Chains A and B, each alone.
Chain A
Amino acid sequence: MSSVTQIAPTPVAPVVTRPTRRRRVRKAAWNLLGVIVFLVMVFPVYWMIATAFKPGHDILSYTPQWIPTHPTLSNFHDATHMPFFWDAAKNSLIVVSIVVALSLVLAFLAALALAKFRFYGRRPFIVLILGVQMVPLAALIIPLYIMMSRLNDVKGVNHVLGVDKLGGVIAMYLTFVLPFAVWTLRGFLLGVPKELEESAMVDGTTRFGAFVRILLPLVGPGLVATSIFAFIQAWNEFIIAYVFLHTPQKQTLMVWLASFTTLRGTDWGPLMAGATLCSLPVIVFFLLVQRRIAFGLTAGAVKG
């Protein structure tokens, strides 16, 4: 270290005046770079929204129209009047709300066990929860398809589960939402100091009472973050919905969006309008929880 200081001795005199200006120039350069990176990253999203509001002749022009100078809603009108748009929207809502509700309940119970109890098999279960997230969905599609197609012949369950049934898709979504939900909620539950619970019990509350009054409000943000995560996962999923839902009336929004090519070729305006509509709920929810997702995945990693 000392050799470094010897090699580069700082001249004393100019240091007083120069660094401020030099630092300001450097700061400006960093800011400029930051703005450029921002523009490059955001441009595709901007281009989608801009295209969605442009009339057809501005979209199909050999020189790009950078700003929609003649904004119109006709693309949105066309997109929402495409066949099966509303069916798809309805299906997406059904699938997403059931997945969110079920995963929240199941994950909360499991997280409670992992965070508040010590028991045989706890560690293997944690390994399972983490390992399961790594299983490639693309690989599991084959046996899942065989399994679901078998269920189609089983009387009693074939109204709900099987190929081309929303129930089957919901069950499959549950499995890949659950591990992350359990892991995140466990983190939140661990964050609740047990002294709080204990003092409530000393005050004469039952364990259940302590749970409702102390634990539940404290993990509230965790529950919100988890449900939004489940929402985003289920809303965005494509492969399973694409393979398992054949009838157009039963497809979800992402499958609808992916099959948006007309015989004349792609209708870019309505496609971009549809894409904007499909990403709107996710954008809103993502802005609400982005920090928690980033922290949830790597919580405590730096200290380790």
Chain B
Amino acid sequence: MSRLAPEGAVASVAESEFTLASRRRRRFTRHRLGHIAAPYALLAPAAAVIGVILAYPMYQLVRMSFQKYGLFELIRHKGRWIGTANYASIFNDAEFWRVVLRTVAFTAVCVSLTMVAGTAIALLLLQVSRVVRIALTTGLVLVWSMPVIVAVDIWRWMVDYEFGVANWTLTKLHVGNFVRHDWFANPWTGFGVFTLLIVWGAIPFVAITVYAGLAQVPQELLEAAEIDGARPWAVFREVTLPLLKPIFVILTSLSIIWDFQVFQQIWVMLDARPTSDYYTMAIYAFHQSFQISEYGLGAAIAVVMVLFMFAATLVYLRQMLKAGEVH
């Protein structure tokens, strides 16, 4: 009974009517029934869209991963059940494990760089004067607003082998001879560029969110710690960090999820023809399904990818629900 009680105004009005005549009470019951149905009616359209376009494909993805689904099956609109053969074939594929390792390592590097740099910039925002702070925040928002495809095109232009500003600057700084240096000839430097591109694009969100969190840390706590003689680093580690932990958990799990499925940066930068040295899990799944029409294999790779991201998702969900309960 109490679980069904609405939070809204009607509840309190209805409760005050409880003692009134029976004619009124009948009205109240009907009202009440409408009230029970109301939230479901309100949720139905959004739930339907999410169900049809997310839940059903999710189920399809898992089903397809157990099927032979090639061009022939695509035309027939029907896959052929082959059990775990797709999984057996990817797990026995050395290429697959290289791709997994590459994706995990790439995600780890990108996420840690993003978190460290973003937090450092947030702390820097506390130290600078007002004018610099406004300029820096505006700059961060400007970077944040760049559509990914635009960002990719900008970086492609900056590291262009012939007229790119990066090669010229590095040569002038005597880092080495970068005249006509092709950054993507070697996957290590290529992934270096992708790391910079992704971290550059992800820093603003982390920096601004952490800064917003820092602004909520009670000033008295920091002052008390300082009076007790704690050094700035100790204040940060012992006071600020624990208070901001929920924000860090959310930001880290979101970053892991975003970086783990990296696709468009690599795909567009390399003109939709990345060599296998540049395959990440998302690209490998895409390549298996859309380029060699092995949709079943692609689905199996995608399922493994979802499982990898599941841990990060769980952590994120727990923290968000905890935060949501504060309201």
Contacts and interface: CB of A to CB of B under 8 A. Distances in A.
B229 A1 contact: yes
A301 B60 contact: no
A62 B180 CA distance: 10
A163 to B, nearest CB: 11
Interface residues on A, range: 35 or more
B3 A118 contact: yes
Nearest to B303: A139
Given A135-B54, A149-B74, A268-B160, A118 B150 contact: no
B212 A298 contact: yes
A222 interface: no
B54 A301 contact: no
A207 interface: yes
Given A44-B151, A207-B9, A304 B323 contact: yes
B139 A109 contact: no
A73 interface: no
A119 B40 contact: yes
Contact of B12 (A129, A150, A198, A287): A198
B247 A268 contact: no
Contacts of B96: none
B154 A182 contact: no
Interface stretch (B19-27, B184-192, B294-302): B294-302
A243 interface: yes
Nearest to B46: A110
Contact of A45 (B38, B132, B143): B143
Interface in A19-69: 27, 30-31, 33-35, 37-38, 41-42, 44-45, 47-48, 51, 59-64
Chain A's interface: helix, strand, loop or mixed, by majority? helix
A254 interface: yes
A115 B319 CA distance: 19
B228 A304 contact: no
B35 to A, nearest CB: 8
B308 to A, nearest CB: 10
A16 interface: no
Contacts of B77: 146, 150, 153
A62 B155 contact: no
B317 A130 contact: yes
A37 B136 contact: yes
A129 B46 CA distance: 10
B28 to A, nearest CB: 14
A132 B54 CA distance: 8
A230 interface: no
Nearest to B206: A294
Interface string B142-175: 1111111111111111101001010011000000
A238 B53 CA distance: 18
A112 interface: yes
Contacts of A275: 149-150, 153-154
B57 A201 contact: no
Contacts of A109: 42-43, 45-46
A60 B162 CA distance: 9
A226 to B, nearest CB: 13
26 contacts: A4-B229, A37-B136, A38-B136, A38-B139, A41-B140, A42-B139, A109-B43, A110-B42, A112-B42, A117-B38, A119-B36, A134-B257, A139-B261, A142-B299, A146-B60, A146-B77, A171-B53, A175-B49, A175-B53, A201-B9, A236-B148, A243-B290, A278-B149, A286-B145, A300-B323, A302-B216
Given A178-B50, A194-B7, A298-B212, 19 more contacts: A5-B228, A34-B124, A117-B6, A126-B324, A132-B50, A140-B58, A140-B302, A143-B299, A146-B69, A146-B295, A175-B50, A207-B10, A257-B153, A275-B154, A279-B146, A287-B138, A294-B205, A301-B213, A302-B246
Q: Please give me the 5 A-B residue pairs with the lowest Cβ-Cβ distance, nearest first.
A: A286-B145, A139-B302, A143-B60, A113-B42, A138-B282
Interface of A: 1-2, 4-5, 8, 27, 30-31, 33-35, 37-38, 41-42, 44-45, 47-48, 51, 59-64, 105-107, 109-110, 112-122, 125-132, 134-147, 149-150, 153, 171-172, 174-175, 178-179, 182, 187, 190, 194, 197-198, 201, 207, 210, 232, 235-236, 238-239, 243, 254, 257-258, 260-261, 266, 268, 271-272, 275, 278-279, 282-283, 285-287, 290-291, 294-295, 297-304
